[in-house]
Chain A
Amino acid sequence: MKLPEKTLRQLLFEMMRIRQIQLAIESRYLENEMKTPVHLCIGQEAVAVGVCANLKKYDYINSTHRGHGHYLAKGGDLRALIAELYGREAGCSKGRGGSMHLADTTIGHYGSSSIVGGGIPIGTGMGLAIKMQKKNKVSVIFFGDGAADEGVLYESINFAVLKKLPVIFILENNQYSVCSKVSARQAGDNIFHAMPAGLLMTKKVNGNNVLDVYNASLKAVARARTGHGPSFIECLTYRIRGHAGCEVQDVPGYRPVGEIERWKTLCPIAAFRKKLLTNKMITLNEIKKMEKKIDKQIEDAFAFARTAPPPKPETLPLYLFRE
């Protein structure tokens, strides 16, 4: 499918933005001012961006502990994200959630769970609500290969198919759960790839190719919006950094160094950038301008977060219940 140049440039910009923000978090992480376990999505940007480019502001997403990219790609506020990492009242979860629990209901992001697979049935239930309310929304659920080990995925997809829900399951296969390789945990290909297409649209795509992700999720979104039921898209990608923290905190020894280096050469952003440059859809100068624009946003967000006040101690019991 041929996309307008503007859209292509936007896809590049969004991926660059998520990458630069991740790098900025990483470069400041050892200052120990962001006292929260960050799970960086460096190398996986194409999944969040390719999917979210097909969504409307009112569509729902459900994310995970590795959720910065999903939050940003859906349009989550950058200042509120960084303030959350600094444990500030101005954070998107008022400093109560931390890096793993981001939310912005104004853009359809109702919170992410750090229990692996925990968000899958919740996103499915949001799909049920959409259907019952006869709304023209879709519910997208991002989860990793670790969550695909969990029985709740099977239970949720079964229910989504049974009720023909407007839900899109995005398996972001970055090949590792902490230090465990997917092949040590799963017997073979995910069973849902064997489902009849009429019941569940399934697809396997190169998760490092933003256009592949975009095109697959475009079909899934159209299918969901027209009442044809759920889809399951597996995006193969790679976790360049360790499970949590910054590069130097990744424990050595559980994966070959050569493997990391090889996947670095398959960087989703570098590949797409090259493609646009080669096809003269963007110039180096324009890319530089984008980088500068993003840097400015980052500086602004960190300056905001560092100086924002932490929650007042007397607010500790707030929010347990909604009055």
Chain B
Amino acid sequence: MTLTEKILAKKSGRAVLSPGEFVLVDVDLGFANDLTGPPAIKEFEKYGNKVFAPEKVALIPDHFTPCKDIDSAGLVKMLREFSRKQKINRFYEIGQMGVEHALLPEEGLILPGTIVVGADSHTCTHGALGAFATGVGSTDLAFFLLTGKAWFRVPETIVVEFSGKLPEWVGGKDLILYLISKTGVDGARYKAFEFTGPIISRLPVDDRFSMCNMAIEAGAKNGIIAPDQITMDYLRQVNPGWVDTHPDFTLNPDSGTVYSEKIKIDVSELEPFVAAPDLPSNGFPVSRLSDVKLDQVLIGSCTNGRISDLKIAAEILKGKKVAKNLRLIVIPATQKIWQEALKEGYLNTFVESGAAVSTPTCGPCLGGHMGVLAEGEVALSTTNRNFVGRMGHPRSKVYLSSASVAAASALTGRITHPAEV
């Protein structure tokens, strides 16, 4: 069995599972945000009055927070009151709140071999630690709140093997943008991505999060990486108790596992990769887009708002100034990342370069607040989607890149290879 099949089999009480079967599984962690939580609560309340397992629930108001208007304040109030009533301790008020897919692993809540459902499509991020993690809708979440369960069709698995020598300035974001440019936005529809190979086994956790985060942009149900020493080292920091009680934990695909497709990628000749409007699959090597002029650069989000992203951006920006007529917005994804960036001096570097630094929020990624684009404006963003109107006006444009390309481009005012600055 594949990694995904193994987890679904274990959690549905089955010895063996095959793609196409339907299973009802026990969920280890379920969560929602300020946009998807309220409709889930509304459905929940039609059918029941007690959450099945409050300790398995997290509610994270991260999308329109700090609340952008009266209506969004109402949505967060609804989550707050529901949490109190249902004794859900993991309600993250601003001040503790972070972008959900950066916050939950940091809180030690994402564990290998578990099932994670989130009412947010980028829940697939958590496969980076070897969980089966997938985005669901609000009704699915209501069902989970009521029963502790979720239904799934067992997906076929596409295994993607990355090998070769990773060039300078190329990381997880570039690998996933390159992969999606090959598969298209529906190349992995209904399927699981299993990322493997010598490049993955050396890839830092933050890069793994970026890769699994964007599995959905190829249509995938989940992205997953077999837990290894890098995973365990990370878990030791965020949840030492789990590591101590699971000294012999392993999760690997069986030898001879049949995959629906095998993709092999030699990364040796890759350049940093950028997705042009209006699809994440519209990818090009950065040098092909060097004449694209920018109005705004955003560094942040569940894809690339982690400390390693801020570190590389700060190294590029240090002692330099953001291009004239360009706005640079930096959003550390969690309070912890924000504080570490403060301690390391990154925030000061950003501000001295002319950037605006924000408290954690998803805000601008989805055209919510804190950096919405006007008609005709062009942005380069370290986020995950560049659909029509994603970050604002339907006639604004979004390019997607890594944090290093974003920082370099903020200095020149056009899409730029980091080696250039």
Bound pair (A, B)? no
Chain B positions within 8 Å of A, measured between CB atoms, are none
Chain A positions within 8 Å of B, measured between CB atoms, are none
